[in-house]
Amino acid sequence: MNDQIINGDLTVRRILMDIDAWGTGVSFMQSAFGLASHLEAELFGLFVEDAELLQAAELPFTREISLSSAQYRDLDASSIIRHMQVEADKLRRQMELLAATSKINWSLNIARGERFEQVFEKCNEFELIIFMPGRKYSTRREQGPSSNVKAPAVLLYKSGTHSLRALHVIKLLMTNGAFSYLKLLTLDNSAEKKAKEQLEKTGIPVNYVHIPNTEITELTRNIMSVSPGLIVFPFLDEWREQPSVIKDLLDKLPCPLILVR
Amino acid sequence: MTINNKQLALPSELLYHKCDLSYLKLTSTEDLVDSEDVIGQSRALEALNFGIGIRHDGYNLYVAGSTGMGKHTTVNNLLEPRAKSAETPSDWCYINNFDQPHKPLALELPAGHARQLHADMEQLVDDLTIAIPAAFESDEYQARAQEVHDKFKKREEQAFSDLADKAKDKDIVLLRTPGGYTLGPLKDGKILTPSEFDVLAKKEKDKIKAFTDEIEEELKSIIKKVPIWAKEGREKIKELNRELTEVTVEQFISELKDTYQDLPEVLKFLETVELGIITNVEEFRKYAGSDKKDPLADFDQVFLPFQVNVLVDNSDLEGAPIIYEDNPTYNNLMGRVEHLAQFGTLMTDFTLIKSGAMHRANGGYLVLDIRKVLASAFAWEGLKRALRAHEIKIQSLEQMLSLVSTISLEPEPIPIDLKVILTGERIFYYLLKKYDPEFNQLFKVMADFSEEMDRNEDNTAGYASLIATLQREQKLKAVSRGGMERIIEDCSRRIDDGEKLSLHMGNLVDLLCEANYWSTEENTKITTEIHVQKAIDSRIKRLDQLREQVHETVLRGDYLLQTSGKQVGQINGLSVIQLGDYAFGKPSRITATARLGTGKVIDIEREVDLGGSIHSKGVLILSSYLADRYAQDTPLSLSASLVFEQSYGFVEGDSASVAELCTLLSALSKLPLEQSMAITGSVNQLGQVQAIGGVNEKIEGFFDICHARGLTGEQGVIIPEANIKHLMLRTDVVEAVKTGRFNIYAVNHVDQVMELMTGIEAGEKDEKGEFPVESVNGLVQKRLTEMTEARRKFAKSDDEK
């Protein structure tokens, strides 16, 4: 895979889609299938059963507080497992339906553990990792922008093949007019210049923004200032050592994040 | 002593009142100008002008006259110029009542504005279905809506996040579950397993439990707040939507407000519409770009409250309306609320309110046929109610009669100011006058159309002009002078009066058209008297079958009728059979028998309920005549019976009373009566002969029988002298009289009849009060005296016993 990158091959062959056990939106999955179809890549859905929750459910005093009634309910591990299985089946059916129209290779894998860790463990095998928006404490099941306004997309562009592939992906995603404009974050003029070369004939409206660094606070500030519909980041080297940075970022994001390797 | 009463015979000149238009010096209708006047109806015209002109309460009109008198044309001709010069009345619409939708509001607009407002409102809806969604799709709105959304979302997430942080400080983690949240104790950043928890000291466990309870309570409190925050968020969005809609709608509404600035009611309506749109803005967003024709889109229903139902559109009207409602049912007069079946349910709304004739005639005139109004259930009551209340309230009959209990519309009543003109026969006027007290208050003017007018030179000239006018109106060929004369003569004949002219326009037009047809058949350029006569003859021929059958029964001897010889107690009476607008004369044998009795004359028809009261009256009169003339000092000691032989139908009228009297006198005097003669006329107690109706048909009826059997010169008909002026006999009858083959006698006293029928002098009373012995009256008196004597003898013999 690295060879391909080195050789400037921007092909995306495998996509990993992170699926939230508590409600991955159909629209989100549709987008993922659309992207996979566009890139002629294989889509790999990962459904992670929350091990922490199962562990907590086994404790004697643990109970659930209902979101709809604010009442206490007994919580046991078996009912959670049953529920997760139902959710997984539901997801599989949805994916089958979507695959029928997009004609791509796909699979759904179920794992147990900590969600982010499970995804991160597998990310080396994929060029693209699509994360559901974090919103850990949201009461709404369907994620993403609430209005039908076209939101912008945000791209972090640095030099390197990962960034080039990210640019390639965002170009594909923006050609159907799904986003109002592209907010392109760069660290320096040379990166901006390179990006401009790639984008100049695409007709994509771009807002170039220089950022001083790629620290999580800086990235979050720039993302939240525009309420984006999609974020595409190249997988930065520094994140390889500190994956929790990505986890913190995901908890704050209002929309899907695509990490490009 | 025999006498010759030939001096009573009428000369042929008196048998037909010929029309001579030579004094007008014309050859055809082309020499005449159109008649603008309504001839012979001055009384009716005066009443009409008064009734139409007066604008006070209750001065509606009743135009009385037979069908075909030209009432509608006359009324219309009078109304048109008056209506044209009048002010064009307002348009009326129904609009939605946003407060009470089942009570639509009436909206009055200057003529021509209703249609415009209707179009404007349609355009407004069209515009807003584009403009409102566009406004909501604008970046500005989307950004603001997103901002509100995010704000409330963030608030919610922040609350959970803060709680999660707080929990973490106490080594507790907040976890999502399928239906909510739960909490789990941490140790070194990991959730405790059950075995790890079990080995904890009780104090530690209690501590964890206490923390968990505390966080749970807070979590519960946050969850409870979530719907409140969501509601607040929706309210904020609603407020934002309202603000945006107000701005968008105002642009369009203000344009309309400028257009209708002089019409405060419309401005008021526009304000309610503006509010309605703001309240229902979601519908405009929902139906953005939807196909209006798509039934599933239900477009019309959604935007219905903003429509205008034009009830009365006077935009094309110049002046006041004149409405003639040919089918004046309750609904057609008062308007109705229609319904649409939708999925098995009847639905209605204010756009389904339909106007009635009263709405359309508001501010003008409504012409109705009273017969049709009375024949339509509740139409008369509805009409009166509206006139009395000065407003039209649309209420369905089903509701009025409590036949349906569903909620329907109650449209706001519309005030009315109109004049109703009823047309119809006199009988309805008098019946309504007698039996409907409200009629007097609501229809104060009667315009009575004359059926006939005098046939003097002026009127005849006017009639000729009328013929010319009708001929041109009907686009017929010109009528020659002879043709006109013949038409005028026929108009006299139709009403059986040589000195009068019928004013029945319908019949006149029919005759003109039919004569024109025959003229066309013969390919002539002008319609002449020949064509007119052919039209008359062919009309009679078409209707003549029954007459032929009746006469055939006489000629074949099935019905006994002598037209020669003499008979005692037998006479030829004359009656008329009326079939629709055709009548013919039928001779009838009347016989009488007399015997000793107590002075009673039996009317056999009456005894078997085949005689009408007028006929019986005639019989009673002749009893009185007998008693008065022949038995003033002695009892009338006879019993007599009178009968119409072979009559199996109802007999009415007194026109045979002279004939019945003569038969009775013949029976008493034993003098035979001429059977070649027939007689018609009524008699009074003094023996005077009085005029009767249908004289022409009666003469012609007897003439036809005689003619068929062969005219002898002895045959004839005796008529009352007062009927001479009514004579308009057929040409063949006149010709027969002229050549001495038939006779018509005019008499004024029964004595003259007896002299004609017996050939014997009637006889006058002498100084002693006695009639000459050999006279008719002498013989009658003698017979009655004998009867009295015989009765006295019977009475004496009875006493002796």
Report the CATH number that the domain containing residue B469 is assigned in CATH: 1.10.8.60
pLDDT for the residue B386: 95
User: Could you give the 3-state DSSP secondary structure of residue B770?
Assistant: coil
* pLDDT for residue B3 is more than 70: no
Please give the share of chain B, as a percent, with pLDDT higher than 90: 56
Measured between beta carbons, the chain B residues lying within 8 angstroms of A70 are 220, 223-224
Residue of B182, B221, B223 for testing the chain A interface, max A β-carbons within 10 Å: B182
Given the cut 0.95, state whether the ipTM is greater than it: no
- Backbone phi, then psi, for B346, in 5-degree steps? -85, 125
| Block residue for tokens 């009443």 | B47
Q: Which residue has the higher pLDDT, B530 or A115?
A: B530
| Nearest one of B733, B663, B665, B666 to B695, comparing CA atoms | B733
Instruction: Write the pLDDT tens digit of every residue in B425-454.
Output: 999 999 999 999 999 999 999 999 998 899
What confidence score (pLDDT) does residue B277 get? Answer: 86
**Catalytic-role residue among B71, B500, B534, B698:** B698
Q: Cα(B89)–Cα(B108) distance, rounded to whole angstroms?
A: 10
Q: Does B229 touch chain A (CB under 8 A)?
A: no
Same domain, A174 and A259: yes
User: Does residue A49 lie within any of the structural domains?
Assistant: yes
A68 contacts in chain B (CB < 8 Å): 179-180
In-domain check, residue A2: no
The residue annotated as part of the active site, out of B655, B669, B676, B682, is B655
- Residue ending a domain, choose from B527, B543, B559: B543
**C-alpha to C-alpha distances, B720 to B658, B746, B748, nearest whole angstrom:** 10, 5, 6
Say yes or no: B688 and B708 in one domain: yes
Per the structure, the complete domain to which residue A247 belongs is given by 136-261
Instruction: Write the secondary structure of B204-242 as one string of H (helix), E (strand) and C (coil).
Output: HHHHHHHHHHHHHHHHHHHHHHHHHHHHHHHHHHHHHHH
**Which residue in B726, B615, B596 sits closest to B667, CA to CA?**
B596
Q: Are residues A24 and A118 located together in one domain of the fold?
A: yes
Give the model's confidence band at B125: pLDDT under 50 very low, under 70 low, under 90 confident, else very high. Answer: confident
Whether A208 is covered by a domain: the verdict is yes
Per the prediction, chain B carries an average pLDDT of 89
Q: Which residues have C-beta within 8 Å of that of residue A117, sequence separation ≥ 6?
A: none
Closest CA to B30 of B461, B464, B531, B460: B464
Count up the domains in chain A and report the number: 2
How would residue B263 be classed by pLDDT, with cut points 50, 70 and 90?
very high
Specify whether A168 is located in the same domain as A125: no
pLDDT digits (tens, 9 = 90+) for B339-373: 887 777 778 889 999 999 999 999 999 999 999 99
- The Cα B350–Cα B339 span in angstroms is 10
Q: Is residue B667 part of a domain?
A: yes
* A135 to B157: CB separation less than 8 angstroms, yes or no: yes
Domain boundary among A98, A114, A132: A132
Burial of B451 (0-12, 13-18, 19+ CB in 10 A): middle
The Cα–Cα gap between B713 and B706 comes to: 10
Within a domain: B405: no
Question: Which chain A residues are Cβ-neighbours of B191 within 8 angstroms?
Answer: 52, 55-56
> How big is the A-B interface in CB pairs under 8 Å?
113
| Assigned domain for B300 exists | no
Domain boundary among B512, B543, B574: B543
Domain-embedded: residue B475: yes
CATH number of the domain encompassing residue B633: 3.30.230.10
Residue by residue, what is the 3-state secondary structure of B715-740?
A: CEEEEEHHHHHHCECCHHHHHHHHCC
| In chain B, % of residues over pLDDT 70 | 96
Largest CA-CA distance found in chain B, in angstroms, rounded: 168
Q: What is the pLDDT of residues B392-436, one digit of tens each?
A: 999 887 777 777 666 678 999 999 999 999 999 999 999 999 999
Residues A120 and A142 in one domain: no
Contacts of A67 in chain B (CB under 8 A): 179-181, 223, 226
DSSP-H helix ranges across B260-298: 264-279, 281-286
Helix orientation angle between B481-494 and B505-521, rounded to the nearest 10 degrees:
140
Question: Could you tell me if A259 and A162 lie in one domain?
Answer: yes
Quickly tell me which residue has 């007097």 as its tokens. Answer: B440
Instruction: Give the Cα separation of B530 and A25 in Å (integer).
Output: 100
Element (H, E) at B347: strand B345-347
- Residues 6 or more apart whose CB falls under 8 angstroms from that of A217 comprise none
Whether residue B705 sits in one domain with residue B570:
yes
pLDDT over threshold 60, residue B506:
yes
Taking residues B543-562, report their average pLDDT.
91
Q: In the predicted model, is pLDDT for residue A6 greater than 60? A: no
Cβ atoms < 10 Å from Cβ of A103 = 10
* Whether B482 and B582 share a structural domain: no
The H-or-E segment that residue B455 falls in is none
Facing B142 at nearest CB: one of A68, A84, A149: A149
* Structural domain range at position B535: 6-40+450-543
Which tops the pLDDT comparison, B347 or B252?
Answer: B252
Q: Are both A257 and A153 inside the same structural domain?
A: yes
Check A67 against B209: CB less than 8 A apart: no
Q: B120 is written with which tokens?
A: 């404007």
Question: Cα–Cα distance between A228 and A249 in angstroms, integer?
Answer: 14
Residues B535, B577, single domain; the answer is: no
Task: Indicate if the alpha-carbon torsion angle B708, B713, B716, B722 is positive or negative.
Answer: positive
d(CA B403, CA B310): 29
Q: What value does the mean pLDDT take over residues B686-712?
A: 94
Same domain, B628 and B743: yes
> What pLDDT digit, counting tens, does each position of A121-179 carry?
888 889 999 987 655 565 544 444 344 557 789 999 988 888 888 998 898 888 777 78
**Residue B797 predicted with pLDDT over 80:** no
pLDDT tens-place string over residues A51-87: 888 888 888 888 888 888 888 888 888 888 888 888 8
Residues A141 and A260 in one domain: yes
Q: What is the CATH number of the domain that holds A254?
A: 3.40.50.620
Selected residues 199-218 of chain B with any CB under 8 Å from a CB in chain A: 209, 212, 216
Domain-located, residue A199: yes
Distance CA A237, CA B5 (A): 154
* B655 classed as catalytic: yes
Separation of alpha carbons B571 and B675, rounded Å:
6
Task: Give the minimum alpha-carbon distance from A260 to chain B in angstroms, rounded to a whole number.
Answer: 28
CATH, residue A36? 3.40.50.12370
> Within this chain, do residues B507 and B619 fall inside the same structural domain, yes or no?
no
Q: How confident is the model at residue A5 (pLDDT cuts 50, 70, 90)?
A: very low
**Together in a domain, A90 and A171:** no
- In-domain check, residue A1: no
Question: Of the candidates B221, B244, B270, which is a domain's last residue?
Answer: B270
Same domain? For A115 and A236 the reply is no
Q: B120-133 burial, b if ≥16 CB within 10 A, otherwise e? A: bbeebbeebbebbb
pLDDT band at B287; cut points 50, 70, 90 = low
Q: Is the domain of B487 the same as that of B537?
A: yes
User: Among residues B72, B113, B111, which one has the least CA distance to residue B318?
Assistant: B111
Closest chain B residue by Cα to residue A254: B150
- Let me know if residue B226 belongs to a domain: yes
In chain B, the number of structural domains is 3
Q: What is the pLDDT of residue B619?
A: 83
Is the CB of residue A26 less than 8 Å from the CB of residue A99?
Answer: no
Query: Is B564 an active-site residue?
Result: no
Q: Is B193 on the interface with A (CB under 8 A)?
A: yes
Distance from CA of A32 to the nearest CA of B (A): 24
Res B191: pLDDT: 86
Clarify whether residues B614 and B718 are in a common domain.
Answer: yes
- Please give the pLDDT value at position A136: 59
- Say whether both B628 and B523 belong to one domain: no
Q: Are residues B27 and B149 in the same domain?
A: no
Q: Which residues pair with B570 in a beta bridge?
A: B591
Asked if the structure places residue B229 within a domain, the reply is yes
- Confidence band (pLDDT; 50, 70, 90) for B14? very high
Residue B790 included in any domain: yes
Domain boundary among A91, A107, A132: A132
Cα–Cα dist A49/A177, whole Å: 35
Rounded CA-CA distance B96/B352 in Å is 12
- Decide if A74 touches B, using CB distance below 8 A: no
Same-domain check for residues B516 and B533: yes
Q: Taking CA atoms, what residue in A is nearest to B183?
A: A62
Q: Is residue B533 located within the same domain as residue B612?
A: no
Is B277 part of any domain?
no
Residue A46 sits in the same domain as residue A96: yes
User: Mind telling me how many Å the CA of A62 is from chain B's nearest CA?
Assistant: 7
131-150 of A, contacting B, C-beta below 8 A: 135-140, 145-149
Q: Return the DSSP state at B6.
A: G
CB B376 within 8 A of CB B428: no
Across the interface, do B216 and A73 touch by the CB < 8 Å criterion?
A: no
Give contacts of A66 with chain B, Cβ < 8 Å: 179-180, 223
* Binding-face residues of B in 82-141 toward A, CB within 8 A: 137, 139
Q: Which residues are paired to B585 by β-bridges?
A: B576
Residue A232: closest CA among A161, A118, A131: A131
Question: Same domain, yes or no, for A229 and A199?
Answer: yes
Query: Domain ends where: A106, A132, A158?
Result: A132
Give the C-alpha separation, B655 to B615, whole Å: 8
Are residues A161 and A111 located together in one domain of the fold? no
